[in-house]
A and B are shown apart, each in its own frame.
Chain A
Amino acid sequence: MPEKKIKKVKIDGTEVVCERDETILEAAKKAGVEIPTLCHDDRLEPYGGCRLCIVQVKGVGRPLPACTTPVTNNMEVCTENEAITRIRKNLISLLLSNHPNDCMRCEKTGDCALQDLAYKYEVDSSRFKGEQWDLPIREDNPFITYEPNKCILCGRCVRICNEVVMAGTIDLVGRGFNSMPDTAFRKPRSLDNCEFCGQCVSTCPTGALTDRKGRGKGRSYDMTKVRTTCSYCGTGCNFDLNVKKGKVIKVTSAYDTPVNHGNLCIKGRYGYDFIHSADRIKTPLIRRGDSFYEATWDEAIDLIADKFTGLIKKYGNKSVGAFSSSRCTNEENFLIAKFARTVFKNNNVDNCARV
């Protein structure tokens, strides 16, 4: 194990201490300095594609990308100067020159990294006019809408699908100006090749990839985010229900979620239809003859307590047990175990999760 080498780095005059092989971008975060990025996602390997994060390092002729360049001891970094601003403006203008600039109707308005940067750097699409993509919107699967014209080729979808999901559904295809993320042979995303986890949607900084079910139902600023834990399995991923007027419009997850760092699977991200389903069971049901009637919780719990007490009286306390679900949280499972031990006074505790 190589010994830890402490590196002192100055970012825009603020000194920070780095102990690992941090990148300039990470060091800047420590220093409280924000550097614009488009192709960076903390979940992914550094890429260096968008070039927005270039910074000037003292003693180096050309600007360097902050997201891929590791810090060295006594490095002095300037994150914004005249030349850097000029280059950033030109890069954003270039991106906008092949972009529909359709913010008025775009799903992503208000939550779009490209829009934010164009606003911050005060650029529009007028500087470089030229050929623009005119590709059809792809709605060839139930969950993901792909509008290639809005793609800025940051490669995040490709990388999350390959590095995190390891599904290998998409890669960049084509060359030069016509490169774009797509499936092999440009086939539709289907169960043959895609997991439908929507991880690609979660990382897309623009409106190129959006959740199909939420389209047309509101922008992110219309929605309240309610953080909750996924109820499908015991992993305990956290996510935010995006709620508008009492309805869940879509599910997102943030990087600061401790268990899953913003990653979700198909169930967590897209399996929320049951919430507003007419068939959803919302109250306890008690059997009466051949049918059920809707009971109150008190009624139901009283009934269960009576039955358990009766069984224990008749057959002894070993005759009952608690069986809980992997869809419950750790805390809930802990409680049911405790319940069995303290109320039933036995160790008959089990769970369905033993695959």
Chain B
Amino acid sequence: MAEKKKIKAKAKTKPSSKAGGADEKGLTIRVCLGTGGLAAGSQEVIDTFRSELHARGLGADVEKKCVNKTGCRGFCAKDVLVDVIIDGNLSTYQFVNPEKVGRIVEDHIINGKPVEEWLVGPEYHTFHDKQTKILLKQCGQIDPEDINAYIEIGGYEGAKKAISLTEFEVIEEVKKSGLRGRGGAGFLTGLKWEFCSMSRSETKYIICNADEGDPGAFMDRSVIEGNPHSVIEGMIIGGYAIGAGIGYIYIRAEYPLAIERLKIAIAEATDKGFLGKNIFKSGFDFDIRIKEGAGAFICGEETALIASIEGKRGMPRSKPPFPVNKGLRGKPTVINNVETLANLPTIITKGAKWFSSIGSEQSKGTKVFALTGNIRNTGLIEVPMGISLKEIIYDIGGGMEKKNRELKAVQTGGPSGGCIPASHIDMPVDYESLMRIGSMMGSGGMVVMDNATCMVDMAKFFISFTQNESCGKCVPCRIGTKRMLEILTRITEGNGKEEDIDLLIELGTDIKLSSLCGLGQSAPNPILSTINFFREEYESHIKKGICPAGVCKALRQYVVDTTSCKMCGKCARVCPSGAIIWLPKQKAFIYKSKCIKCGACFDACPFKSIT
């Protein structure tokens, strides 16, 4: 209770800002304040803006109104990003730090001349142009800690409208929109709600799954940090449709900023009468509680999540019964992902027709991806379903990070997904196509790999993650993934056996078939798909003892290229194991038996003569 008061107080004392609009002097400054931005130092940037404006006699009033905090806008590689809007003219600066603020204020704000060399380049615009932003539109544009900013852009209209309809009409609209769950499996949201609404019970629950445990994924976090009210509004709509009076947000404790913003948002929404008793004066009561998870990947699985809320060990159980019939505390429960829920307000206000016009035949709307790996523009993107991988990688992502490298494969779906080789780059990104190729949508991780990536090593990375996160309940996942990791480890260390590939395929297939939950059922995907598309790489490790990408250290063989060696002897001096013979005016020679493959000589050679 005390905490709630504190949050409310905070919500009131913070600057009241207009959503994305200029103040009376026509000046707005927007600073990215997501976790990415914060890590890059955006708080200092804001503070410096404030003090610089103050020092130049721009009154406290102006300063307070001008500096808006915004959520993540996706282009994390360029953080801290700052928008300066003067009389509607927007300029965006990249890599802003406190030292740069002075000049931006002096030249741009006072003298009206933007600092050209610090402005974002054309890739910032291509990055945004191919995207279709529904969820992320407001992230980065409104102050996530101010409910009025959200209301000004039409926030809570969806919930209001939904509650004026019958529960049945809301479910029909969501069904018609074709919205599918963004948490992984892609189940039709409207259908899930319908099942739950048919379960008879006085008490029902709706749970927002914000566990987001995939390594490298930060879509849900960004949506919550950037626009927490959209998730709350989605939960109100869902709660109303299925007849749930209580909603839970299950969020990992590692997301303190997101939790803080949710708490503020819930307090604000309660103040406005959007949460609590008799909301929108409709007679419908709805409350939201936050449940912090301790950060186990498996707690994202819906039945494990329920067990965790109930205070038990986060372990999945067999379905049926499905949560829509028997969920939290045995009551009918709908579990939806953050992104799924955040889509709902717009679906209700703009209509199912509008939503289903975006996307492909069976996958409607947009999807947020965390684009990472060896790509130029890493960050958060939102694209219409059905867009080709090629467009994502080359138009939005700007191609490979290193100019001399080529695209090798893309991993979607995180540790549960599979890899898609460069040859399939024209394929559309939607649920069915990804499934067909042995991968999956997952929650939206997208790792781009160039030709310096070893696919065996990549598969090993993902299986080491899943085997570590296995809950231990069922045999195939608990022991099977461990054995797969051990087989991959021996392959990358040069101890692979010829029959290992077939063993991996058989074991992987059986783990998929016999595991209890989605974790085990999908854990072998990275291995099976890399064997499928890059079998020769496995064979090369096993039969030739060579890692074609040169990643697996144990398989590396360092030799001196005698044609380019300039006889400087630097390599011999750094070798810690005395494996390099070198005498003045003689070419160096590496003794295989003594070499420990540390790579020191490789790094030390100024002429790239060690290969």
Which residues on A are within 8 Å of B, measured CB to CB? 46-52, 54, 62-63, 65, 68-70, 83, 86-87, 90-91, 94-95, 97-98, 128, 130-131, 152-153, 155, 171-172, 174-180
Q: Which among B89-97, B123-131, B404-412, B465-473 touches the partner chain?
A: B465-473
Taken together as a complex, chains A and B put the C-alpha atoms of A49 and B483 apart, in Å, by 18
A175 CB contact (under 8 Å) in B468, B506, B507, B515: B468
Q: Name B507's closest neighbour in chain A (CB-CB).
A: A90
A153 lies within 8 A of B478 (CB): yes
* Contact A175/B510 with A46-B318, A49-B516, A94-B479 known, Cβ cut-off 8 Å: no
- The interface residues of chain A lying within 8 Å CB-to-CB of B470 are 175-177
- The interface residues of chain B lying within 8 Å CB-to-CB of A175 are 296, 468-472
B contacts with A, residue count (CB < 8 A): 30
Taken together as a complex, chains A and B put the C-alpha atoms of A180 and B479 apart, in Å, by 13
Taken together as a complex, chains A and B put the C-alpha atoms of A97 and B315 apart, in Å, by 23
B474 lies within 8 A of A95 (CB): no
B467 lies within 8 A of A177 (CB): yes
Taken together as a complex, chains A and B put the C-alpha atoms of A50 and B515 apart, in Å, by 9
* Contact A128/B478 with A69-B318, A90-B506, A175-B296 known, Cβ cut-off 8 Å: no
Taken together as a complex, chains A and B put the C-alpha atoms of A172 and B479 apart, in Å, by 16
List 8 other contacts, CB 8 Å, given A90-B506, A130-B483: A48-B317, A50-B475, A51-B515, A90-B476, A94-B480, A98-B479, A131-B486, A177-B479
B474 CB contact (under 8 Å) in A51, A62, A69: A51
User: What are 22 A-B pairs with beta-carbon distances under 8 A?
Assistant: A49-B516, A50-B475, A54-B513, A63-B514, A65-B516, A68-B318, A83-B513, A90-B507, A94-B475, A94-B479, A94-B480, A95-B479, A97-B479, A128-B483, A130-B486, A131-B486, A152-B475, A153-B473, A153-B478, A174-B472, A179-B473, A180-B472
Asked if B57 lies at the interface with its beta carbon under 8 angstroms from chain A, I say no
Query: Which 3 pairs of residues, A with B, have the shortest CB-CB distance?
Result: A179-B472, A68-B318, A48-B318
Taken together as a complex, chains A and B put the C-alpha atoms of A146 and B506 apart, in Å, by 34
Q: Name B512's closest neighbour in chain A (CB-CB).
A: A62
Q: Mark B494-508, 1 if CB is under 8 A from A, else 0.
A: 000000000000110
Asked if B133 lies at the interface with its beta carbon under 8 angstroms from chain A, I say no
A51 lies within 8 A of B476 (CB): yes
- The interface residues of chain A lying within 8 Å CB-to-CB of B326 are none
Taken together as a complex, chains A and B put the C-alpha atoms of A130 and B469 apart, in Å, by 19
Asked if B482 lies at the interface with its beta carbon under 8 angstroms from chain A, I say yes
- The interface residues of chain A lying within 8 Å CB-to-CB of B317 are 48
The winner among A50, A83, A130 for most chain B CB atoms within 10 A is A130
The minimal Cβ–Cβ distance linking A342 to chain B, given in whole angstroms, is 54
B475 lies within 8 A of A51 (CB): yes
B482 CB contact (under 8 Å) in A47, A52, A131, A155: A131
Taken together as a complex, chains A and B put the C-alpha atoms of A52 and B320 apart, in Å, by 18
* Contact A176/B469 with A69-B318, A130-B483 known, Cβ cut-off 8 Å: yes
- Which positions 437-484 of chain B face chain A at CB distance < 8 Å? 467-476, 478-483
Q: Name B521's closest neighbour in chain A (CB-CB).
A: A62
The minimal Cβ–Cβ distance linking B298 to chain A, given in whole angstroms, is 8
B476 CB contact (under 8 Å) in A94, A178, A179: A94
Q: Mark B103-140, 1 if CB is under 8 A from A, else 0.
A: 00000000000000000000000000000000000000
B513 lies within 8 A of A176 (CB): no
* Contact A172/B506 with A49-B516, A131-B486 known, Cβ cut-off 8 Å: no
- The interface residues of chain B lying within 8 Å CB-to-CB of A155 are 473
* Contact A176/B468 with A49-B474, A130-B483 known, Cβ cut-off 8 Å: yes
Taken together as a complex, chains A and B put the C-alpha atoms of A155 and B318 apart, in Å, by 14
Taken together as a complex, chains A and B put the C-alpha atoms of A153 and B468 apart, in Å, by 16
- The interface residues of chain B lying within 8 Å CB-to-CB of A48 are 317-318, 474, 516
B313 lies within 8 A of A172 (CB): yes
B510 CB contact (under 8 Å) in A90, A153, A176, A179: A90
- Which positions 312-338 of chain B face chain A at CB distance < 8 Å? 313, 315, 317-318, 320
Taken together as a complex, chains A and B put the C-alpha atoms of A179 and B514 apart, in Å, by 19
B313 lies within 8 A of A130 (CB): no
* Contact A176/B478 with A49-B473, A63-B514, A87-B513 known, Cβ cut-off 8 Å: yes
Q: Name A89's closest neighbour in chain B (CB-CB).
A: B510
- The interface residues of chain A lying within 8 Å CB-to-CB of B469 are 175-176
The winner among A68, A69, A176 for most chain B CB atoms within 10 A is A176
- The interface residues of chain A lying within 8 Å CB-to-CB of B472 are 153, 172, 174-180
Taken together as a complex, chains A and B put the C-alpha atoms of A98 and B467 apart, in Å, by 15
* Contact A62/B513 with A91-B476, A175-B469, A176-B472 known, Cβ cut-off 8 Å: yes
- The interface residues of chain A lying within 8 Å CB-to-CB of B506 are 86, 90
* Contact A70/B513 with A94-B480, A177-B478 known, Cβ cut-off 8 Å: no
Taken together as a complex, chains A and B put the C-alpha atoms of A69 and B516 apart, in Å, by 12
- The interface residues of chain A lying within 8 Å CB-to-CB of B510 are 86-87, 90-91
- The interface residues of chain B lying within 8 Å CB-to-CB of A70 are 320
Q: Name A61's closest neighbour in chain B (CB-CB).
A: B513
A54 lies within 8 A of B478 (CB): no
A130 lies within 8 A of B516 (CB): no
* Contact A179/B471 with A91-B514, A172-B315 known, Cβ cut-off 8 Å: yes
The minimal Cβ–Cβ distance linking A238 to chain B, given in whole angstroms, is 32
A171 CB contact (under 8 Å) in B313, B474, B478, B513: B313
The minimal Cβ–Cβ distance linking A94 to chain B, given in whole angstroms, is 4
- Which positions 503-545 of chain B face chain A at CB distance < 8 Å? 506-507, 510, 513-516
Taken together as a complex, chains A and B put the C-alpha atoms of A268 and B371 apart, in Å, by 63
The minimal Cβ–Cβ distance linking A174 to chain B, given in whole angstroms, is 7
Taken together as a complex, chains A and B put the C-alpha atoms of A13 and B239 apart, in Å, by 46
Taken together as a complex, chains A and B put the C-alpha atoms of A240 and B155 apart, in Å, by 70
- The interface residues of chain A lying within 8 Å CB-to-CB of B468 are 175-176
Taken together as a complex, chains A and B put the C-alpha atoms of A172 and B313 apart, in Å, by 8
The minimal Cβ–Cβ distance linking B101 to chain A, given in whole angstroms, is 46
- The interface residues of chain B lying within 8 Å CB-to-CB of A97 are 479, 483
The minimal Cβ–Cβ distance linking A77 to chain B, given in whole angstroms, is 16
B471 lies within 8 A of A87 (CB): no
- The interface residues of chain A lying within 8 Å CB-to-CB of B515 are 51
The minimal Cβ–Cβ distance linking A85 to chain B, given in whole angstroms, is 11
* Contact A94/B315 with A87-B510, A175-B471 known, Cβ cut-off 8 Å: no
Taken together as a complex, chains A and B put the C-alpha atoms of A46 and B318 apart, in Å, by 9
Q: Name A98's closest neighbour in chain B (CB-CB).
A: B479
B318 lies within 8 A of A65 (CB): yes
- The interface residues of chain A lying within 8 Å CB-to-CB of B473 are 49, 153, 155, 172, 179
- The interface residues of chain B lying within 8 Å CB-to-CB of A69 are 318, 320
- The interface residues of chain A lying within 8 Å CB-to-CB of B313 are 171-172
- The interface residues of chain A lying within 8 Å CB-to-CB of B479 are 94-95, 97-98, 128, 177
- The interface residues of chain B lying within 8 Å CB-to-CB of A171 are 313
- The interface residues of chain A lying within 8 Å CB-to-CB of B507 are 90, 128
Q: Name B320's closest neighbour in chain A (CB-CB).
A: A70
The minimal Cβ–Cβ distance linking B189 to chain A, given in whole angstroms, is 23
- The interface residues of chain A lying within 8 Å CB-to-CB of B471 are 175-176, 179
Taken together as a complex, chains A and B put the C-alpha atoms of A195 and B296 apart, in Å, by 32
- The interface residues of chain A lying within 8 Å CB-to-CB of B483 are 94, 97, 128, 130
- The interface residues of chain B lying within 8 Å CB-to-CB of A172 are 313, 315, 472-473
The minimal Cβ–Cβ distance linking A86 to chain B, given in whole angstroms, is 7
B475 lies within 8 A of A91 (CB): yes
Q: Name B486's closest neighbour in chain A (CB-CB).
A: A130
- The interface residues of chain B lying within 8 Å CB-to-CB of A83 are 513
